[in-house]
Amino acid sequence: MTGWQTLLYKEVLRFWKVAFQTVAGPVLTAMLYLLIFGHALEAHVKVYDRVSYTAFLVPGLAMMSLLQNAFANSSSSLIMSKMMGNLVFLMLTPLSYMNWFVAYVGAAVIRGLVVGLGVFAIAVLFTELSFVAPLWIFVFAILGAALMGTLGLIAGLWAEKFDQLAAFQNFVIMPMTFLSGVFYSIHSLPPFWQGVSHLNPFFYMIDGFRYGFFGVSDVSPWLSLAVVALALAVVSAIAVHLLRSGYKIRS
The confidence score (pLDDT) of residue 115 equals: 96
User: pLDDT higher for 200 or 188?
Assistant: 200
The Cα–Cα gap between 251 and 247 comes to 8
pLDDT level of residue 45 (50, 70, 90 thresholds): low
Nearest to 244 by CA among 104, 94, 103, 97: 97
User: pLDDT higher for 7 or 84?
Assistant: 7
Most confident of 66-75, 123-132, 195-204, 215-224: 66-75
The confidence score (pLDDT) of residue 87 equals: 83
Are residues 189 and 197 in contact, defined by beta-carbon separation less than 8 angstroms? yes
- Mean pLDDT (the chain) is 89
The residue count of the chain comes to 251
The confidence score (pLDDT) of residue 84 equals: 84
The confidence score (pLDDT) of residue 191 equals: 85
What totals of helices (H) and strands (E) does the chain contain, helices first? Answer: 12, 0
Are residues 119 and 65 in contact, defined by beta-carbon separation less than 8 angstroms? yes
How far from 114 is each of 4, 15, 62, 188, CA to CA, in Å? 21, 11, 10, 32
DSSP three-state, residue 49: coil
The Cα–Cα gap between 180 and 203 comes to 4
Are residues 112 and 149 in contact, defined by beta-carbon separation less than 8 angstroms? yes
Q: SS3 helix, strand, coil % of the chain, rounded to 5?
A: 75, 0, 25
The confidence score (pLDDT) of residue 198 equals: 87
The Cα–Cα gap between 205 and 238 comes to 20
**Whole-prediction pTM:** 0.91
The confidence score (pLDDT) of residue 42 equals: 67
The Cα–Cα gap between 246 and 250 comes to 6
Report the first-to-last Cα separation within the chain, whole angstroms. Answer: 30
The confidence score (pLDDT) of residue 154 equals: 95
Amino acid identity at 102: V
The Cα–Cα gap between 209 and 204 comes to 8
Residue range 53-77: average pLDDT?
91
Most confident of 41-45, 145-149, 186-190: 145-149
The confidence score (pLDDT) of residue 234 equals: 97
CA atoms within 13 A on the CB side of 27: 19
Are residues 182 and 44 in contact, defined by beta-carbon separation less than 8 angstroms? no
Residue range 227-233: average pLDDT?
96
Q: Does 251 have pLDDT greater than 70?
A: no
Give the rounded percent of residues in the chain with a pLDDT score beyond 70: 96
User: Minimum mean pLDDT among 35-49, 74-88, 182-196: which range?
Assistant: 35-49
Q: Does 144 have pLDDT greater than 90?
A: yes
CA atoms within 13 A on the CB side of 39: 7
